[in-house]
Amino acid sequence: MLSTLSSKIIALLIVLLIVLIGVFTAFFVINKGQIALLNANLDKSELARSELQKNLSSVTSSLETAEKDKQTLLGNLALLAKALSDRERSRNEIKREFEQSTKELTQVFERSSDEKTLSWGATVIPDAVNSVLEQSARCANRYRNQDSVCFSAQGTDQPVHRSAVFQQEKPRSF
């Protein structure tokens, strides 16, 4: 009886061992599949990370270039602001000097008792002379140096139209 009992226990242990081996084999196969899936996900994550790194490098480079451009533009803006400020200061100075000269010239004509000075002040100036003076004043400004009228080969070498000489004359004004 002991031998049948021992053989039954041994048979039970063998069956239990076979079931355990089957369970471990199934567990191993399932884990192997999960490991393969995790490795595939890891590879995808690595590819996504490298793509993000490339994008980050590209965006960083663009940002650095934009920052350099911004600094250059700020420098240019400061130079432009200074140039405009200097120009406005020069314009105000010229305007002030012009007003002062006009006052002085008006006073000379008002105080003068000389007939030549008075007749010269009342003399009318032809339109052609006025247009030449206006053109020379306009061409004297730096920003007009690209104007085709201001080039010496085109502006002063052109003949004066005769009709301008015979137009109505304008009186001088101060």
The pLDDT of residue 120 is 76
The pLDDT of residue 171 is 52
The pLDDT of residue 148 is 59
The pLDDT of residue 145 is 55
The pLDDT of residue 132 is 81
Local mean pLDDT, 10-residue blocks, the chain (174 residues): 80 92 93 92 94 94 95 94 93 92 84 78 79 76 58 49 50 50
Q: What secondary structure letter does DSSP report for 161?
A: P
103 burial class (0-12, 13-18, 19+ CB within 10 angstroms)? exposed
- 0.75 surpassed by pTM: no
Helical residues (DSSP H) of 112-171, grouped into ranges: 115-122, 127-140, 162-165
Domain ranges of the chain: 2-123, 125-164
The pLDDT of residue 125 is 78
The pLDDT of residue 41 is 94
The pLDDT of residue 153 is 44
The pLDDT of residue 142 is 57
The alpha-carbon radius of gyration of the chain (Å, integer) is: 50
> Exposure pattern of 27-65 as b/e (b: 16+ CB <10 Å)?
eeeeeeeeeeeeeeeeeeeeeeeeeeeeeeeeeeeeeee
The pLDDT of residue 168 is 52
| 145 membership: H or E segment, kind and range | none
Q: What secondary structure letter does DSSP report for 154?
A: T
